Amino acid sequence: MFFDTPLQTLVEQAAAQPERLRERYAMLFAEIERRDATHQSLCEPSWEWLSSELDRIGSLPDPKSRPGLFGLPVGVKDTIAVSGLPTKAGTLGDIGQILQLPQSPAVTALQDAGAVIVAKQATNQFCSSAGPAPTEAIRGKEYFAGGSTVGGAVAVAAGFTRLALGSDAGGSIRHPAALAGVAGLRPRKGSISDDGQINGSLSGQSTGLIARSAADIALILARCPSLHAEPNDRATCDKDRPTIGIPDISWANVAPAAAAALRSCASRLGKMGYQVVSTPMWQTQDAQDDFFFVMSFENWLFHKPLMAEHPEIYSPAVYRVMRAGETIEPREAAAARRRLAGQRKRIFDLARTARVDILLTPSIPWPDIRKDAGSPRELSAEGGRFTAISNIYDLDSLSVPVERSPEGWTRSVMLHGLTVPLARLLSCARDFELPHPEARAR
Q: Return the closest-CA partner of residue 442 out of 162, 158, 211.
A: 158
Q: Which of 128, 172, 213, 363 is catalytic?
A: 172
Instruction: List pLDDT tens digits, range 347-374.
Output: 999 999 999 999 999 999 998 899 999 9
Q: Is the pLDDT of residue 229 over 50?
A: yes
Distance CA 184, CA 306 (A): 31
Q: Return the closest-CA partner of residue 392 out of 246, 291, 308.
A: 291
Q: Which of 41, 148, 213, 380 is catalytic?
A: 148
Q: Which of 77, 88, 120, 189 is catalytic?
A: 77
Distance CA 437, CA 392 (A): 33
Q: Is the pLDDT of residue 238 over 80?
A: no
Name the strand (E) or helix (H) holding 176: helix 174-180
Task: Please answer whether residues 42 and 75 qualify as being in contact, where contact means their C-beta atoms are separated by less than 8 angstroms.
Answer: yes
The three-class DSSP label of residue 105 is helix
Instruction: List pLDDT tens digits, range 340-349.
Output: 999 999 999 9
Mean pLDDT of the chain: 94
Quick check: is 172 catalytic?
yes
CA distances from 188 to 128, 230, 263, 381 (A): 21, 9, 27, 21
pLDDT at 439: 45
The three-class DSSP label of residue 361 is strand
pTM, two decimals, is 0.96
DSSP output for 47-103: HHHHHHHHHHHHTS--GGG--TTTT-EEEEETTB--TTS---TTSSS-HHHHHTPPP
Task: Please answer whether residues 16 and 63 qualify as being in contact, where contact means their C-beta atoms are separated by less than 8 angstroms.
Answer: yes
Distance CA 439, CA 159 (A): 5
pLDDT at 64: 61
Quick check: is 88 catalytic?
no
Instruction: List pLDDT tens digits, range 126-176.
Output: 999 999 999 999 999 999 999 999 999 999 999 999 999 999 999 999 999
Question: Sorting pLDDT into bands at 50, 70 and 90, what band is 63?
Answer: low
Task: Please answer whether residues 426 and 214 qualify as being in contact, where contact means their C-beta atoms are separated by less than 8 angstroms.
Answer: yes
Quick check: is 213 catalytic?
no
